[in-house]
């Protein structure tokens, strides 16, 4: 067993010495961040903040979003601020000296709202008994009805929520900035970055970025510590990929959200891959493999290449990564190398595999980039690697 560990360590060291792609991890707790670091992650490419709004904080979140009574929202945001600050402080500490890309809240709304059916039943039951329903239930039901969406995954998510709920972006950015200030004062080296989810148009990014910069400046002034967080965007809608040039003018970095980009390019739900037709499509050869696991190079990959090319043309120093599940898929890692990305980000446990594949990609495709030759070689290499990678998991 000792021999095996030594062999794996050697293989990883070799891969690290040749790979051009950086490997980061997706992590949203200090424990996961520390684990990712032990696996060799060079940063956090995606810190999702959704889970930080569940559990005991749910009620605050309901109040923040639904704002049934005056003052509700402000109070909820005030209560959330120190909690969020602690969340970020722990992660920045675990990743001291390495980049941590914190993504602004991106929930499908229905996961955060009280259940409409449950509320209706409670109200109806009280009425049937001839009692007065709880005032709070009535207010919540009215608010939930107002916000109801038939299709929440295509609704008030990501940047749309940030623009719709006054104070939400400011609260999250203030929490990031406060955590940065605290780390700096403790002698640390925090490298927080702020990422805006589900952007489809540059104007959405511009609006949020103005808010981010306003809050960073405010915290800088209050604390006397300069807080410099690059602001970047997810590219996870076809429209974002197709308008990557103008978006890059406002973004320090792009990170491809290939889960959503696959969902929106194909127009089928990432949450229903068990559905009737989906496995059948693999059996019948419509998919070579599930496009949610191995990147669909012909379609989704084409959007990635367009966005890389147009993004870099607009901003040559644009940092580009991927943080969808594909970031840890061997065949997809080869594609991202050939497409000229700077990093892949995957779950902590997949970091070693991503490091190895990034090394193999550098050896088999050269240094990467966007040459026509590179593309041809990539297509051949991808087929061979796709089989091996799939079998290996
Ligand atoms: C993505 O869409 O690929 C992504 C990384 O974001 P999430 O999975 O959180 O939607
Ligand atoms: Mg997404």
CA angle, residues 211, 215, 216, in degrees to nearest 5? 115
Average pLDDT over residues 261-280: 87
Probe target for ligand 1 pocket from 234, 237, 292, with the most ligand atoms within 8 Å of CB: 234
Helix (H) or strand (E) holding 33: helix 30-38
Average pLDDT over residues 87-107: 97
pLDDT value of residue 99: 98
Measured from the CB, is residue 48 less than 6 Å from ligand 1? yes
Percentage, residues of the chain above pLDDT 90:
77
In this prediction, residue 369 has a pLDDT band, given cuts at 50, 70 and 90, of low
Q: Which of 244, 233, 200, 214 is nearest to 101 (CA)?
A: 233
Pairing of the two strands 191-196 and 99-103: parallel
Probe target for ligand 1 pocket from 108, 197, 261, with the most ligand atoms within 8 Å of CB: 197
11 alpha carbon – ligand 1 mean position (Å): 30
Q: What is the pTM of this model?
A: 0.91
Q: Which of 318, 323, 154 is nearest to 246 (CA)?
A: 318
User: DSSP 3-state assignment of 291?
Assistant: coil
Judge whether 186 and 225 are in contact, CB under 8 Å.
no
Residue 325's CB is within 10 A of a number of other CB atoms, namely 21
Q: What is the pLDDT of residues 6-61, one digit of tens each?
A: 999 999 999 999 999 999 999 999 999 999 999 999 999 999 999 999 988 988 99
Q: Is the pLDDT of residue 390 over 60?
A: no
Q: Is the pLDDT of residue 3 over 80?
A: yes
Give the contacts of 180 (CB within 8 A, at least 6 positions apart).
92, 190, 192, 225, 227, 229
Average pLDDT over residues 90-104: 98
Q: Which of 234, 365, 202 is nearest to 304 (CA)?
A: 234
Measured from the CB, is residue 323 less than 6 Å from ligand 1? yes
CB crowding 181-208: b at 16 or more within 10 Å, else e: bbbbeeebebbbbbbbbbbbebebbebb
Judge whether 176 and 82 are in contact, CB under 8 Å.
no
Judge whether 287 and 297 are in contact, CB under 8 Å.
no
Instruction: Report the distance separating Cα 331 and Cα 129, nearest Å.
Output: 61
In this prediction, residue 101 has a pLDDT band, given cuts at 50, 70 and 90, of very high
Nearest CA, atom 10, ligand 1: 260
Judge whether 7 and 16 are in contact, CB under 8 Å.
no
Q: CA-CA distances (angstroms) from residue 176 to 49, 56, 313?
A: 11, 21, 31
Q: Is the pLDDT of residue 191 over 50?
A: yes
265 alpha carbon – ligand 2 mean position (Å): 13
ipTM value for the complex: 0.99
In this prediction, residue 368 has a pLDDT band, given cuts at 50, 70 and 90, of low
Task: Return the CA Rg of the chain.
Answer: 22
**Who has greater pLDDT, 101 or 379?**
101
Q: What is the pLDDT of residues 127-139, one digit of tens each?
A: 999 999 999 899 9
């Amino acid at each position: 067993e000792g021999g095996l560990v030594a062999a794996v360590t050697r293989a990883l060291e070799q891969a690290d010495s040749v790979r051009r792609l950086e490997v980061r991890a997706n992590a949203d707790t200090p424990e996961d961040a520390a684990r990712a670091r032990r696996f060799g992650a060079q940063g956090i490419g995606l810190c999702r903040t959704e889970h930080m709004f569940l559990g005991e904080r749910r009620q605050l979140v309901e109040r923040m979003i639904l704002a049934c009574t005056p003052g509700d929202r402000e109070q909820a945001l005030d209560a959330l601020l120190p909690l969020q600050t602690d969340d970020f402080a722990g992660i920045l500490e675990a990743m001291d000296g390495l980049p941590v890309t914190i993504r602004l809240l991106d929930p499908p709304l229905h996961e955060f709202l009280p259940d409409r059916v449950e509320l209706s039943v409670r109200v109806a039951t009280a009425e049937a008994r001839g009692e007065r329903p709880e005032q709070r239930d009535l207010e919540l039901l009215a608010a939930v009805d107002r916000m109801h969406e038939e299709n929440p995954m295509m609704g008030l998510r990501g940047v749309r929520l940030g623009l719709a709920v006054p104070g939400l972006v400011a609260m999250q950015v203030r929490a990031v900035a406060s955590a940065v200030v605290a780390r700096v004062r403790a002698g640390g080296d925090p490298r927080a970055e702020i990422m805006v989810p589900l952007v489809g148009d540059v104007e959405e990014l511009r609006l949020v970025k103005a808010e981010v910069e306003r809050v960073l400046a405010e915290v800088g002034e209050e604390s006397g510590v300069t807080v410099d967080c690059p602001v970047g965007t997810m590219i996870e809608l076809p429209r974002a990929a197709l308008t990557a040039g103008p978006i890059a003018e406002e973004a320090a970095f792009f990170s491809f959200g290939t889960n959503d980009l696959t969902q929106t390019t194909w127009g089928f739900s990432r949450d229903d891959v068990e559905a009737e037709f989906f496995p059948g499509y693999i059996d019948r050869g419509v998919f070579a493999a599930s496009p949610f696991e191995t990147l669909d190079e012909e379609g989704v990959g084409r959007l990635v290449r367009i966005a890389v090319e147009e993004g870099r043309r607009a901003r040559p120093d644009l940092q580009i990564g991927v943080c969808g599940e594909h970031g840890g898929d061997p065949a997809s890692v080869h594609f991202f190398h050939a497409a000229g990305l700077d990093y892949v980000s995957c779950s902590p446990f997949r970091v070693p595999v991503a490091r190895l594949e990034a090394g193999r990609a550098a050896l088999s495709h050269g240094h990467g980039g966007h040459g026509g030759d590179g593309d041809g070689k990539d297509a051949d290499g991808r087929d061979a690697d796709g089989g091996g990678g799939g079998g290996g998991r």
